Every structure is written in structure tokens, then in C-alpha cells.
Amino acid sequence: MKLFVGLGNPGSKYAQNRHNIGFMAMDQIAADHGFAPFKGKFQGALTEGRLGREKVLLLKPETFMNLSGQSVGEAMRFYKLTSQDVVVFHDELDLAPGKLKYKMSGGHAGHNGLRSIHQHIGETYGRVRMGIGHPGRKELVSGYVLKDFGKADQDWLDDMLRGISDGAAHLAEGDTTKFSNAVAMRLNPPRPSTGTKGPKANNAPAPAKAAASKPKAATNTAPEEDSRSPLQKLMDKFS
């Protein structure tokens, strides 16, 4: 069994915030893969279903971001999971919008949700880092992550969420390469060739030149039969 955790803040006020991209990923997976409706449990919203051959729990902590670890820790202990069974989906300032990377273990890089999870289950868990870009200055970060995605973000955001859903079964089964490839296929689909081919070479042999006219062979005509009498022939000879 795996526990997928999407980070965000509860309530409609925050639903479209950049900070809530983890919640969005859980909603996309649940909708696409026929999970049961989310229900309140472990200080969060929980649902369960199957991804490929794996049973998977989807959790959206509702403790607000900086206390997310409380909810994750409760769910992990109840189902007797280890931290290595947990994958956390979260916004990532250090990746450009539309970029995604999977990482196992490591620091929290100042992310309040990850910091709280570290405190409750340690750092040995998987993370799906979903790039939202950086506002440029540290003092702008709080306002930036708590603002809604803009219209210009909708295309890549939709592609990223659909790609995560496409590859969710691979991630549940531990194949992070296939998971990343599935996301990449949505974000950077192969482009059809736009080059136009030139006209096909005409390999047919050039039409043969008209054969030179040949003189017609002379027609052999049989000599006319001489019908003169011998006497007439003699007279004609001396005339």
C-alpha cells in the first residue's frame, strides 16, 4: 500500500492558489481513476482505490500547510506504513512553471509543509516537486504562493495534472522513470514534422525519341510476261 499526500490549505478561498497544487493533483488522480469520494479522516480528506496493482490512499491534510505532518503521521501509523511508502506532492519555487521532478529524501528547503512532515515522519519519503516558479525576491514568496494561478498558467497546469494522473500507477509501483516520462509526454508531446517534402524525383526514363525514319525497302516486282510471238520479237530486234 502507498500513501500519496497532496499539500495545500483547506477551503474554497485557497482552492486555486499556487500553494494548493498538491491538492489539485490528488483531485485529478481520484477523478481519473475512479476513487471513492474524499471523506474526513486523520485531520484531512482521505480516499482509497487502486492504481495498477497497488492499493493507494490519497490524503489532503486539512490542518493548514504548516501542520501537514500531523495528518500524514496519523495516517501512516494507522495503516502501519513506513515513510518510504509515502509520496508527497507539493509546489516547488525552485523549478520553473511546468517543470516536475521526483526526489527521494532530502531537506525541506524552507517549505512549511515539508518541514512539518519532517518533524513527524522523518525525511525518508518521496516527493513530487511541481514547479511554480519564483517571484524573484524572498519577501514576495508568501504573497506569490497564496495567489491563484493566472490564465497564462492554465495550459501547463492542466497538462501537468493530467500527466501526473497518467503516470500515477507507475509511481505507485515504484517506477519513477515511467512516471516522469508520462508527465513529460503531456508537458512536451512529440511534435509532428512540419517540413514539407519536395516533389518526388521523376525516375521514369525519358520518353524515347522518335525513331529516325528509315527508307522503305524497295518493293520487288515481278517482270511482266512478254507476250510477243517469235516472229514479232525478231522484227522488233531489227526495226
Residue-wise pLDDT tens digits, 63-102? 999 999 999 999 999 999 999 999 999 999 999 999 999 9
Please check whether residue 170 is in contact with residue 179, taking contact to mean a CB–CB distance below 8 angstroms: yes
Which domains are seen in the chain, by residue range? 2-187 (3.40.50.1470)
Dist CA 171 CA 189 (whole Å): 20
Give the pLDDT of residue 236: 60
| Mean of all residue pLDDT scores within the chain | 88
**Mean pLDDT confidence for 51-73:** 97
Dist CA 144 CA 92 (whole Å): 12
120: its cell numbers: 513527524
* Residue 147 DSSP SS3: coil
CA distances from 40 to 141, 146, 237 (A): 30, 24, 144
**Strands 39-41 and 44-51, sheet pairing:** antiparallel
509501483: which residue's cell?
173
Q: What percent of the chain is modeled with pLDDT above 90?
A: 77
Residue-wise pLDDT tens digits, 170-221? 999 999 999 999 999 999 988 876 655 555 545 555 555 544 445 454 445 5
147: its cell numbers: 495567489
Is the pLDDT score of 223 beyond 60?
no
Dist CA 41 CA 155 (whole Å): 33
Is the pLDDT score of 133 beyond 80?
yes
**Strands 100-104 and 126-131, sheet pairing:** antiparallel
DSSP string, 86-126: EEEEEEETTS-TT-EEEEES---TT-HHHHHHHHHH-S-SE
CA distances from 168 to 5, 214, 238 (A): 13, 82, 127
Other residues' Cβ atoms within 10 Å of the Cβ of residue 219: 5
**Mean pLDDT confidence for 129-138:** 95
Is the pLDDT score of 233 beyond 70?
no
Please check whether residue 29 is in contact with residue 49, taking contact to mean a CB–CB distance below 8 angstroms: no
Closest CA to 121 of 88, 72, 172: 72
Closest CA to 5 of 41, 33, 45: 45
The residues that are catalytic are 19
**Mean pLDDT confidence for 147-176:** 97
492504481: which residue's cell?
51
